[in-house]
Amino acid sequence: MDSFATLIRTASHEQHMEAETSTFMSDLLGGRLGVEAYARYTEQLWFVYEALESEARSLAPDPVAGPFIQPELFRLPSLERDLAHLRGPGWRSSLTALPATRAYAARVTECARTWPAGYVAHHYTRYLGDLSGGQIIRGKAEQTWGFARKGDGVRFYVFEDITNPAAFKRSYRQLLDAVPADDLEKQRMVGECKHAFTLNTAVFRALGEEFPLSA
């Protein structure tokens, strides 16, 4: 079998294309949406990362998920600074999750509590994506809405404690290859990764409905 990192990447390729080319993402990257849509999207990310990171401490000793818990990846503090910038100091009181976001966060929490290998699939789908395509989104956001480069509003995309993202991704893929799981469990993880992409696409669809382009 190919390395697991290669397998999970290849197997989710189609779902990746679908997420990348979703109407909401295309409109966002095409500079066709207002900053309100970007803020609403950032709010949804808060719920997803809250689910990923609030369980991180309890997963740290886990033999499967533990090696993936790396504080330099944590995004919640950066998201909170971005939201304070986008929404103002009272951002927390107006924060709401779309139903699709609630479903996504609930699945992450469920995996974290009952199936660490499934949690790893969600971890991979978000953090490796943020380290990759996230950088394209950051550049577009800075350009479209005038955020300071790597500053408030786009801190979510800036991994201050990862000086060499390419090297970090290489070692992350080594962690994937070393995951203590048999072939069947690895197939289940690939399935959960595809599910994670579907959950992301559902959030994009809901955001697209909330922010249709007036023709």
Asked if 179 is part of the footprint of ligand HEM (rule: CB under 6 A), the reply reads no
> Whole-number minimum distance, CB 171 to ligand HEM, in Å?
13
Q: Which of 19, 37, 121, 158 binds ligand HEM (CB under 6 A)?
A: 19
State the residue number with the nearest CB to ligand HEM: 133
Give the x/- contact pattern for ligand HEM in 26-65, rule: CB under 6 A. Answer: ---x------------------------------------
Residues near 98 by beta carbon (within 8 Å), at least 6 away in sequence? 44, 203, 206, 207, 210
Crossing angle for the helix pair 4-11 and 13-20, to the nearest 10 degrees: 50
For the CA atoms of the chain, what is the radius of gyration?
17
Residues 150/42, Cβ–Cβ less than 8 Å: no
Q: Which of 95, 136, 178, 213 binds ligand HEM (CB under 6 A)?
A: 136
Asked if 3 is part of the footprint of ligand HEM (rule: CB under 6 A), the reply reads no
Crossing angle for the helix pair 183-210 and 13-20, to the nearest 10 degrees: 10
Residues near 52 by beta carbon (within 8 Å), at least 6 away in sequence? 108, 112, 122, 123, 126
CB nearer to ligand HEM: give 28 or 83.
28
Give the x/- contact pattern for ligand HEM in 112-131, rule: CB under 6 A. Answer: ------------xxx-xx--
Amino acid (1-letter code) at residue 63:
P
- Other CB atoms closer than 10 Å to residue 81's CB: what's the count? 16
Asked if 142 is part of the footprint of ligand HEM (rule: CB under 6 A), the reply reads no
Q: Which residues bind ligand HEM (CB under 6 A)?
A: 9, 16, 19-20, 25, 29, 124-126, 128-129, 132-133, 136, 169, 197, 200
